[in-house]
Amino acid sequence: MMLTLENLSKHFGGVRAVDDVSLTIREGEIFGLIGPNGSGKSTTVNLITGLYAPTTGRVMLDGYDLTTMAQHERTAMGVARTFQNIRLFGNLTVAENLWVAQNGHEQRRAHFLSRWFRAGGERGADIDELLEFSRLLSKRDVPASALSFGEMRRLEMARALASNPRVLLLDEPAAGASLEDGQLLAERIRAVQGRGVTVLLIEHMMELVMGITDRIAVLNFGGKIAEGTPAEIQRNDDVRSAYLGS
């Protein structure tokens, strides 16, 4: 698996949110995407998933051009993401949220699907396994709105994994989480990698990024200013000044 961004740009009026970014994420790696606030990280994820169409450039997965594919087609190709602002169905249970994620994301179908699920239409073994993996099995039948913040973040990631992705895009999965939750998250990201899933990790918690990524790209004002191993990035002068200047 190889996810490649080729000269990718996204302009919003005069704002170059993403500006001619090229990079390749290799099969099986945990790739970090960092940069100051507003540097284009979330927009990059939105371009990979198809939430936005790029102004220029291409998104390639294993040589297939995803650039004009709809979001659901990219999901079928194995691309999944979490949102920086958690998106769950608060009135559905934890298990139902995962079941809906496996069977179609659309809001208007979610309630219909969940009623069928509740009626015993499907008792997915996969779902329980995923809940166990996400340390949410004891919360299986609890409404998502009743979860703690850390649990919601775990469910958000489980929701993305429910589509059985080959590449998982995590947009600030530790934001607002405690250090302890951050450590749990690191373990789970490694476990996801252990299942053969390639990970793109956007994260502000530097300890987390430097500790678990194989390689990192740094954005500043939409452009890529550096790429390398965590050690290389930490001693890169352009990266230091981008962070100090922000």
Tell me which of Mg ion, ligand ADP, none is bound by residue 35, counting a contact when its beta carbon lies within the kind-specific cut-off of 5 to 8 angstroms: ligand ADP
What's 74's DSSP letter?
A: H
Residues 51-90 vs Mg ion: string with x where CB under 5 A? ---------------------------------x------
Cα 73 to Cα 70, 79, 130, distances in angstroms: 5, 9, 23
Residues 29-88 within binding reach of ligand ADP (CB under 6 A) = 35, 37-43
Tell me which of Mg ion, ligand ADP, none is bound by residue 224, counting a contact when its beta carbon lies within the kind-specific cut-off of 5 to 8 angstroms: none
Tokens matching residue 187: 């373990």
Ranges of beta strands (E only) in the chain are: 2-12, 15-26, 30-34, 56-61, 64-65, 79-81, 167-171, 198-202, 215-220, 223-228
Min dist CB 194 to Mg ion, Å, is 27
HSE at residue 77, side-chain half, CA atoms within 13 A, is 22
Min dist CB 182 to ligand ADP, Å, is 19
194: number of Cβ within 10 Å: 9
User: Nearest CA to 47 among 28, 29, 60, 62?
Assistant: 60
Count of residues interacting with ligand ADP (CB under 6 A)? 11
53-90 exposure pattern, b = at least 16 Cβ within 10 A, e = fewer: ebbebbbebeeeebbebeeeebbeebbbbbbbebebbe
| Span near ligand ADP by CB under 6 A; candidates 10-18, 135-143, 154-162, 190-198 | 10-18
Min dist CB 41 to Mg ion, Å, is 5
User: Nearest CA to 228 among 18, 29, 55, 36?
Assistant: 29
For position 107 contacting ligand ADP by CB under 6 A, the verdict is: no
Q: Residue 96 or 203: which CB sits closer to Mg ion?
A: 203
Min dist CB 39 to Mg ion, Å, is 8
CA dist., res. 90 & res. 143, Å (int)? 6
Q: Residue 14 or 194: which CB sits closer to ligand ADP?
A: 14
Residues 23-52 within binding reach of Mg ion (CB under 5 A) = 41-42
Q: Residue 55 or 84: which CB sits closer to Mg ion?
A: 84
Indicate which single residue of 1, 4, 6, 15 sits in contact with ligand ADP (rule: CB under 6 A).
15
Residue nearest Mg ion, CB atom distance: 42
CA dist., res. 100 & res. 114, Å (int)? 7
Tokens matching residue 204: 């502000």
- Tell me which residues touch Mg ion (CB under 5 A): 41-42, 84
- Tell me which residues touch ligand ADP (CB under 6 A): 12, 15, 17, 35, 37-43
